[in-house]
């Protein structure tokens, strides 16, 4: 249990720190590595996904709340009338998609490697 | 099987990442969504917190000593520096901080470098800009500026300041539009600043009607052309009042050499010669102590330009031992263009004089590579222009062809009737040697203490020519129609000229002491609104596009006013009254045969009869009147307007139209070509009125607001970043000259009191160019309502710190 919490914390930390120095898509590498080390496919997918969604969602809210949704509203309008709140959710969901896909990909890699 | 699944999954995941990281994937207009949405470098990082600006301390290389920037509650920066150079450095830094993308785009556009970042769709515009020879012109200007320490020191300090900001930028901090458009800022340069002033010149002094006038004269014949297109409105109230006498011996132009044969035949088809927006200008005036309630001179200025977000203006105060000045600056140029200091105030409106002429080249060979000139032949010169186009592997290379006169702007195809036209434009000329140039003119104004300083400041200023208004605390008021003006013989440059004779060159330039100017006239005020500079007694010929209504209305208003207060002048700046409507409505009403109207038409008429000529946004009368007026105009000049779709033609000026309606309603021009009957003005007025009424019986009259659609659009026309349909009363011919996306881009009122200066101002935007900032467009509504901010003219940084606003401290790096 504690191991899992620690692993998830490490994952969250890596999601935050790596893209500060590397391109934004380095979160995919983080998810890939996490997935490779994960014990089950479900865990690889769900943790990598949920945690990136949470990290991204909270991170953008750090900008969005002090800005009172001003810019998110305008960018949303640019993409056909999406509201600021919806744009926060879409960003989080995009994080979830990337995290989940690459997490599961990492897991699948190990599966294939260990069979051979 | 497992391998296959793994392969598919890898492909899907990596593919998704690729799409999210690619700008315009598969040719779609979609930006790189991953780059845009991720919280680290995406657009979210551009969402600025509301409330107080955080304080900052920065170390910057290039500074000589510490500079403080104090931000007031509107986030206007007030710079306090120990030297002028440090002040310009800080101006460059803070302007780039707020307006980098705008600076980049405006100079890219003028120099033909847009396709590099937006691709094919900007190529046509880039090609045209290159063929106009803008970059070559800017190179000559920069070379001249470099030889003047006054100009170059300010310029280089400003450039260093802009680059100090750019060089420290991380991708997360790139202005939003870079992220949306998918490109990166590049270092600023002195050349970019020069290009900016060329962009202003293109906006303000590139109007040309040579082709249209030549075509129209051919269509109408000499006599009718003269009749319909007189150059001077006898009702005009010129900028320089008639009491000013011209006590000088003018330079006499050489007489015209008569051509043996006409080199021009036929009409020039419509090629959409690029023209700046027509017929909307600016107002400025200064009233002397004898006309004001408290005996202080008051200066006002509202330049009318394209209204954009970010705004063309950046409000700033700059203090150093050389000056303490406040006003608005142009993002890309050091200094303050319109403003005031502790002793004087100044402002500008545009001069409409024509400084762009077309010359027809007479070819000496079949290939059209050499041409006749003064009895001999000359070869075209070429200059290669390389245009990078996003999405193309190889850049586009063109050879721009130059003649003695200037570039062949349509030199891409020798078969085009436009091929033979060479453009001569004043801002493209080599500025030559002087002790100072445009930048230093503004810097000298920032330092000016009195009239003599203002006088000396303006001698270095060539183009775009401006009506510089001036007022001082000692009560002096003045106005100079200032710039470099060609000496022309009568009608020179009105039509296309024969390019084979040097005799058709401009005949030198009007000596500076002979330009139109006035100081402390007996009427107690000076004013300009883009109308004719002088009356017809001025000994030099000039042509161009001039206002006919605002100037007269403003002069009339100021003459009638007494015990003037700041509030009175604010009301005048915001006045929505159109003198054009005031004069036209009674004429139309007089000509309208009432007995032929039905009940519905009579009720419309009743409404219009009560209208006062004020273009109030919530009313429908202005919209009805405008439709009636425009429709009558188009029918009246069908002889000309029917050509509009195929060839370039002139439009009869509206004052001449009113003159014809008034004095010669039976004039043959009113005969409608489509019918057998011979119409008079009354027939057209009736027909136009009935047409408008028929429209009104189907759909209710629109309000002036919906018709005028006062807007402040984002520079890249992104609707979500623009403000449209603003409730604002005004008209192109009213002092509050608002028409669609054009209008008063800065309203300023400065009271020059014995005990100090007080000033008010507003512009439709905000200091920040970032759509994610609360200071992006925060003054738009205030501006639309006609409200002003009292400008906080700080005396020193200590004084300023007491206001408890935010402060940025810059100190030199490595010292």
What digits encode the pLDDT tens for the residues B143-187?
Answer: 999 999 999 999 999 999 999 999 999 999 999 999 999 999 999
Domain contains B279: no
Residue B3 has pLDDT above 90, yes or no: no
Pick B50's closest partner by Cβ from A68, A90, A95. Answer: A68
Tokens of B319: 């203090």
Neighbour order of strands in the sheet with B466-472: B56-60, B807-812, B67-71, B77-80, B314-320, B323-329, B338-340, B344-350, B466-472, B477-482, B517-519
Question: Using the beta-carbon criterion (under 8 Å), do B17 and A98 form an inter-chain contact?
Answer: yes
Domain contains B635: yes
Grade residue B419 by pLDDT with cuts at 50, 70 and 90.
Answer: very high
Domain contains B406: no
Domain contains B591: yes
Provide the number of structural domains found in chain A. 1
Distance from the Cα of B385 to chain A's closest Cα (Å) equals: 36
Residue B528 burial class via C-beta count within 10 angstroms: exposed 0-12, middle 13-18, buried 19 and up: buried
* Pairing mode of beta strands B713-714, B308-309: parallel
Grade residue B606 by pLDDT with cuts at 50, 70 and 90.
Answer: very high
Question: Distance (Å, rounded) from C-alpha B28 to C-alpha B796?
Answer: 53
The pLDDT of residue B760 = 98
Cα B501 → chain centroid:
33
Question: Using the beta-carbon criterion (under 8 Å), do B49 and A66 form an inter-chain contact?
Answer: yes
Domain contains B122: no
Q: Is B213 left (phi over 0), alpha (psi -120 to 50) or beta?
A: alpha
Q: Which structural domain range is residue A73 located in?
A: 2-115
Select the residue from B1, B21, B35, B39 to test the A interface by mutation, using most A Cβ atoms within 10 A: B39
Grade residue B270 by pLDDT with cuts at 50, 70 and 90.
Answer: confident
Domain contains B665: yes
Question: Using the beta-carbon criterion (under 8 Å), do B34 and A72 form an inter-chain contact?
Answer: no
The pLDDT of residue A3 = 84
Instruction: List, for residues B365-396, the tens digit of each pLDDT value.
Output: 999 999 999 999 999 999 999 999 999 999 99
Domain contains B600: yes
Distance from the Cα of B746 to chain A's closest Cα (Å) equals: 25
Entry field: residues in chain A: 116
Distance from the Cα of B87 to chain A's closest Cα (Å) equals: 31
Q: Which structural domain range is residue B609 located in?
A: 579-708
Question: Distance (Å, rounded) from C-alpha B204 to C-alpha B211?
Answer: 19
Residue B588: which CATH number? Answer: 1.10.1400.10
Grade residue B259 by pLDDT with cuts at 50, 70 and 90.
Answer: low
Question: Distance (Å, rounded) from C-alpha B501 to C-alpha B488?
Answer: 15
Grade residue B531 by pLDDT with cuts at 50, 70 and 90.
Answer: very high
Grade residue B802 by pLDDT with cuts at 50, 70 and 90.
Answer: low
Nearest CA in chain B to A65: B49
Tokens of A48: 């990598």
State whether residue B56 sits within 8 Å of chain A by CB.
no
Instruction: List, for residues B80-92, the tens digit of each pLDDT value.
Output: 999 999 999 999 9
The pLDDT of residue B804 = 63
Provide the number of structural domains found in chain B. 1
Per the prediction, chain B carries an average pLDDT of 94
To the nearest 10 degrees (0 to 180), the angle between helices B654-663 and B681-698 is 120
Please, are residues B581 and B731 in contact by the beta-carbon 8 Å criterion?
yes
State whether residue B2 sits within 8 Å of chain A by CB.
yes
Residue partners of B403: CB distance under 8 A and separation at least 6:
B359, B361, B371, B378, B380, B381, B422, B499
B chain contacts of residue A60, beta-carbon cutoff 8 Å: 39, 42, 44
Grade residue B812 by pLDDT with cuts at 50, 70 and 90.
Answer: very high
Domain contains B298: no
Residue B262 has pLDDT above 70, yes or no: no
Nearest CA in chain B to A75: B720
Residue B797 has pLDDT above 80, yes or no: no
**Phi and psi, residue B357, nearest 5°:** -120, 145
**Phi and psi, residue B509, nearest 5°:** -130, 145
Distance from the Cα of B51 to chain A's closest Cα (Å) equals: 9
- pLDDT average, residue stretch B793-798: 78
Specify the range with the lowest mean pLDDT, choosing from B41-55, B93-107, B529-543, B795-809.
Answer: B795-809
Instruction: List, for residues B454-486, the tens digit of each pLDDT value.
Output: 999 999 999 999 999 999 999 999 999 999 999
Residue partners of B569: CB distance under 8 A and separation at least 6:
B285, B287, B298, B300, B749
Give the other-Cβ count within 10 Å of B686's Cβ: 20
Among the listed residues B77, B89, B102, the one whose alpha carbon sits nearest the alpha carbon of residue B771: B102
Select the residue from B13, B45, B180 to test the A interface by mutation, using most A Cβ atoms within 10 A: B13
Q: Maximum distance among all alpha carbons in chain A?
A: 54
Entry field: residues in chain B: 815
- pLDDT > 70 fraction of chain B, expressed in percent and rounded: 97
Q: The tokens 């001077």 sit on which residue?
A: B232
- pLDDT average, residue stretch B568-587: 98
Regions of chain A where pLDDT drops below 50: none
Please, are residues B372 and B364 in contact by the beta-carbon 8 Å criterion?
yes
A chain contacts of residue B43, beta-carbon cutoff 8 Å: 71, 75
Instruction: List, for residues B339-359, the tens digit of each pLDDT value.
Output: 999 999 999 999 999 999 999
């Amino acid at each position: 249990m504690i191991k899992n919490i620690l692993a998830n914390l490490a994952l969250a930390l890596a999601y935050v720190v790596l893209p500060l120095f590397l391109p934004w898509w380095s979160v995919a590498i983080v998810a890939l590595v996490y997935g490779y080390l994960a014990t089950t496919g479900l865990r690889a997918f769900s943790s990598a996904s949920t945690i990136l969604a949470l990290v991204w969602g909270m991170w953008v809210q750090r900008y969005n709340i002090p800005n009172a949704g001003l810019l998110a509203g305008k960018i949303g309008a640019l993409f056909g009338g999406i509201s600021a709140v919806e744009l926060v959710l879409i960003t989080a969901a995009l994080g979830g998609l990337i995290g989940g896909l690459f997490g599961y990909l990492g897991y699948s890699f190990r599966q294939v490697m260990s069979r051979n | 099987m497992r391998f296959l699944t793994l392969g598919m999954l890898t492909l899907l995941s990596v593919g998704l990442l690729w799409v999210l990281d690619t700008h315009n994937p598969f040719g779609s207009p979609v930006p790189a969504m991953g780059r845009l949405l991720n919280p680290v470098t995406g657009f979210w990082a551009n969402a600025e917190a509301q409330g107080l600006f955080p304080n900052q301390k920065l170390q910057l290389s290039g500074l000589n000593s510490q500079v403080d920037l104090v931000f007031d509650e509107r986030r206007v920066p007030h710079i306090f520096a120990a030297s002028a150079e440090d002040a310009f450095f800080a101006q460059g830094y803070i302007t780039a901080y707020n307006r980098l993308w705008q600076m980049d785009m405006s100079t890219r556009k003028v120099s033909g470098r847009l396709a590099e970042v937006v691709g094919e769709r900007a190529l046509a515009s880039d090609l045209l800009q290159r063929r106009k020879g803008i970059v070559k012109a800017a190179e000559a200007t920069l070379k001249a500026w470099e030889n003047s320490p006054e100009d170059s020191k300010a310029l280089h300090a400003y450039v260093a300041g802009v680059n100090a900001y750019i060089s420290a930028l991380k991708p997360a901090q790139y202005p939003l539009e870079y992220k949306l458009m998918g490109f990166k800022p590049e270092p600023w340069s002195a050349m970019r600043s020069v290009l900016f002033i060329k962009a202003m010149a293109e906006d303000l002094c590139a109007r040309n009607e040579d082709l249209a006038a030549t075509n129209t004269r051919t269509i109408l014949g000499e006599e009718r052309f003269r009749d319909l297109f007189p150059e001077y409105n006898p009702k005009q109230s010129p900028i320089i009042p008639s009491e000013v006498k011209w006590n000088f011996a003018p330079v006499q132009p050489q007489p015209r050499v008569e051509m043996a044969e006409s080199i021009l035949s036929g009409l020039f088809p419509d090629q959409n010669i690029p023209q700046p927006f027509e017929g909307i200008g600016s107002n400025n005036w200064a009233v002397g102590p004898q006309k004001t309630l408290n005996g202080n001179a008051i200066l006002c200025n509202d330049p009318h330009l394209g209204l954009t977000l970010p705004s063309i203006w950046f409000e700033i105060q700059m203090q150093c031992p050389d000056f303490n000045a406040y006003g608005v600056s142009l993002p890309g140029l050091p200094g303050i263009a319109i403003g005031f200091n502790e002793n004087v105030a100044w402002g500008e409106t545009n001069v409409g004089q024509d400084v762009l002429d077309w010359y027809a080249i007479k070819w000496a060979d079949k290939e059209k590579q050499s041409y006749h000139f003064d009895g001999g032949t000359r070869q075209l010169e070429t200059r290669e222009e390389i245009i990078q186009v996003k999405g193309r592997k190889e850049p586009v290379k063109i050879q721009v062809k130059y003649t003695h006169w200037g570039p062949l702007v349509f030199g891409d195809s020798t078969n085009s009737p436009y091929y033979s036209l060479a453009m001569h434009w004043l801002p493209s000329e080599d500025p030559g040697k002087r002790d100072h140039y445009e930048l230093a003119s503004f810097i000298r104004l920032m330092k000016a203490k009195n009239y003599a300083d203002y006088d000396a400041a303006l001698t270095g200023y060539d183009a775009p020519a401006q009506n510089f208004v001036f007022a001082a605390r000692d009560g002096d008021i003045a106005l100079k129609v200032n710039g470099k003006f060609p000496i022309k013989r009568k009608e020179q440059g009105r039509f296309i000229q024969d390019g084979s004779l040097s005799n058709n060159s401009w005949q030198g330039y009007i000596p500076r002491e002979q330009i139109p100017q006035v100081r402390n006239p007996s009427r107690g005020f000076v004013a300009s609104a883009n109308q004719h500079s002088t009356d017809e007694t001025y000994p030099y010929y000039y042509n161009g596009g001039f206002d006919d209504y605002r100037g007269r209305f403003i002069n009339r208003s100021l003459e009638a006013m007494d015990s003037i207060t700041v509030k009175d002048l604010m009301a005048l700046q915001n006045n929505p009254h159109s003198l054009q409507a005031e004069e036209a409505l009674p004429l139309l009403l007089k000509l309208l045969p009432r007995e032929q109207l039905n009940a519905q038409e009579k009720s419309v008429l009743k409404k219009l009869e009560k209208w006062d000529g004020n273009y109030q946004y919530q009313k429908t009368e202005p919209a009805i009147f405008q439709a009636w007026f425009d429709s009558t105009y188009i029918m009246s000049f069908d002889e000309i307007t029917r050509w509009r779709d195929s060839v370039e033609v002139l439009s009869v000026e509206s004052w001449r139209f009113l003159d014809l309606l008034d004095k010669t309603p039976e004039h043959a021009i009113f005969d409608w070509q489509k019918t057998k009957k011979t119409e008079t003005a009354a027939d057209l007025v009736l027909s136009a009125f009935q047409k408008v009424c028929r429209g009104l019986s189907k759909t209710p009259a629109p309000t002036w607001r919906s018709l005028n659609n006062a807007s402040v659009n984002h520079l890249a026309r992104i609707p979500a970043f623009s403000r449209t349909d603003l409730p604002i009363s005004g008209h192109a011919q009213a002092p509050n000259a608002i028409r669609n996306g054009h209008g008063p881009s800065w309203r300023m009122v400065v009271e020059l009191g014995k005990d100090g200066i007080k000033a008010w101002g507003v512009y439709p935007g905000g200091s920040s160019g970032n759509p994610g900032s609360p200071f992006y467009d925060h003054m738009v509504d205030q501006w639309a309502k006609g409200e002003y901010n009292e400008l906080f003219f700080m005396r020193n940084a200590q004084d300023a710190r007491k206001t408890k606003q935010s402060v940025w401290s810059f100190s030199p790096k490595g010292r």
